Amino acid sequence: MERALLKRVSEHPQIVIYENHIAVDLITEHHVIGELRNPRAETHCWGAYALDVKANVVKMFLASVTMLSTGGAGHVYLYTNPLIATGDGVAMAARAGANIANMEFIQFHPTTLYNSGSPSFLISEAVRGFGQCCEHRPAKIS
């Protein structure tokens, strides 16, 4: 799925992919006119600032519509979940004053094989499923 999607996106004349760019903040009134005199005033989003990791410069991307799709926040648990699940989008939205909801529904994986010095990896969900199963029908151990 990912390969097919990337191929279609890279062929699209109106889509530009910026690799090695990390969005760091949404551009709102706070950046243009400083702290709002009325904190309840409506806030607008005019794009985002992104760090160009290779050039080590922050660039400004102006947009009439900005969509955050930065995934979950599972990596707040140090040794489980992908490194990229940092919750950046939620943090940026919160800093911009957006209402944040349903955070309890973000998936995270609690089971990992931790071996100090080596990369951790996910232990199959089947392990948890098996444990649940055993509460009702104890597995025979031979």
Contact positions vs ligand FAD (CB under 6 A): 22-23, 69-71, 74, 81-82, 84-86, 88, 107, 109, 122
Instruction: Please report, for residues 12, 43, 78, the alpha-carbon distance to residue 73 in angstroms, rounded to integers and kept in the order given.
Output: 30, 25, 11
Distance CA 28, CA 93 (A): 10
Name the minimum Å distance from CB 42 to ligand FAD: 25
Name the minimum Å distance from CB 20 to ligand FAD: 10
Residue nearest to ligand FAD (CB): 71
Q: Which helix (H) or strand (E) holds 58?
A: strand 57-62
The residue (of 107 and 115) whose beta carbon lies closer to ligand FAD is: 107
Name the minimum Å distance from CB 137 to ligand FAD: 25
Q: What type of residue is 102?
A: N
Distance CA 15, CA 34 (A): 32
The residue (of 42 and 104) whose beta carbon lies closer to ligand FAD is: 104
The residue (of 32 and 126) whose beta carbon lies closer to ligand FAD is: 126
**Residue 90 CA neighbour count, 13 Å, CB half:** 14
The residue (of 41 and 111) whose beta carbon lies closer to ligand FAD is: 111
Name the minimum Å distance from CB 88 to ligand FAD: 3
Q: Decide if 85 contacts 72 (C-beta within 8 A).
A: yes
